[in-house]
Structure 1
């Protein structure tokens, strides 16, 4: 049986040793901000667009760095759906404010792991091991 793979990009934003996560309306877990590419978009173009749409901030191209790639079971899908999440760090301009599709934003520590989708949990584990978050 072939598994479906959902290919997404995600933004890792760390402030005060906590990482920014968001929950979309109707969802029960937190995710890193980001999402799927539109046809023809590069990772950077998709990330910039998704973060602008979700959080109303502009990512700064010159500061973009790839942090990690995670492959994990996709939350909210029937198995065997997997998500491949390419995670980037980047500085931003503006003030983070949730858009209408975002029900909540939260700054998380490692202890908050159980509030997150599986792929986001892998990222929090990595950030904690790197001593980037508490």
Structure 2
């Protein structure tokens, strides 16, 4: 779903463990992405994240633990990407991280793997690295 300015938005989950961050890859895609997805009409960020993480990884996000990490946006004129905004949250979860049918692969990336993610995800990788959370 797009925001009021027509820019597509994604609500994404950032889970860091042992200086690595969780990423997923959808079938038919080469790039990895933070898990999450687009809002359904009328959904809040927390409702979107809970639904998407359940759909993609069969895990349950604890909405009370959600903390906004950052919002990252690619504007007009980017050579490799249309305008796009990603709203990122950290959060605790329950359950194993088991990819669903829509997810081809999950992985744990270090900062050195930054070139394997999408352009907007690269911005979040940079912010995680600058914050000392991703080596």
TM (normalized to structure 1)?
0.91
Partner residue of 1:47 out of 35, 46, 49:
49
Aligned Cα root-mean-square deviation (Å): 1.9
Alignment of 1:1-134 (within 5 A): 5-72=7-74, 81-134=82-135
Q: Secondary structure at the match of 2:71?
A: strand
Q: How many pairs are equivalent?
A: 129
Question: Is the 2:74–2:81 Cα contact (8 Å) retained in structure 1?
Answer: no
Partner of 2:98: helix, strand, or coil? coil
Q: What's the secondary structure of 2:106's corresponding residue?
A: strand
Contact 1:22 1:33 in 2 (8 A): yes
Distance 1:17 1:87 in 2: 18
How far does residue 65 in structure 1 lie from its aligned partner after superposition?
A: 0.4
Identify the range of structure 1 (89-98 vs 64-73) with the bigger mean alpha-carbon deviation: 64-73
Change (3 A) 1:100 1:111: same
Q: How far apart are residue 80 of structure 1 and its match?
A: 6.7
Moved segments of 4+, more than 3 Å: none
Query: Whole-Å Cα distance in 2 between the matches of residues 4 and 42 of structure 1?
Result: 17
Name stretches of at least 5 consecutive residues in structure 2 with no aligned partner: none
* Structure 1 alignment gaps of length 5 or more: none
Pair 73,117 (structure 1): closer, same or farther in 2 beyond 3 Å: farther
